Amino acid sequence: MTKKYNISVEATLEVIGGKWKPVILCHLMNGKKRTGELKRLIPKITQKMLTQQLRELEHDGIINRIVYNQVPPKVEYELSTYGNSLREILHSLCIWGEHHIERTYGDAKNYLEDSILNQ
């Protein structure tokens, strides 16, 4: 059976929706990251969930998994060319979120992690 969407945003959310995928992608917009780096940047995500989300994003062609042939093994993740096409959308989500924080709580600097503000 052919898949049907009621509206095209459903297709977008099917690939990048959920609690963690947009957060992972926003961090990868700033360059390649190792799994441990992503875990430190997103402390509330479990290792199992991070691995699952990375696999799904790789399967959908949104990120590249780069394996270096060395001991100990080294793996990095980066946005793929296709994933880079989401850059504007992700940036807009970040800007909107910052405005929402300011509107709801006040100065965003008081509510965002320092690591995010310094990027």
H/E stretch holding 77: strand 74-79
pLDDT at site 108 = 83
- Architecture field, domain 8-110: Orthogonal Bundle (1.10)
- In sequence order, which residues have a C-beta less than 8 Å from that of residue 6 and are 6 or more positions away? none
pLDDT tens for each residue of 40-98? 999 999 999 999 999 999 999 999 999 999 988 899 999 999 999 999 999 999 999 99
Q: Report CA-CA distances (Å) from 86 to 8, 92, 99, 101, 113.
A: 15, 10, 20, 22, 23
Residue ranges per structural domain of the chain? 8-110
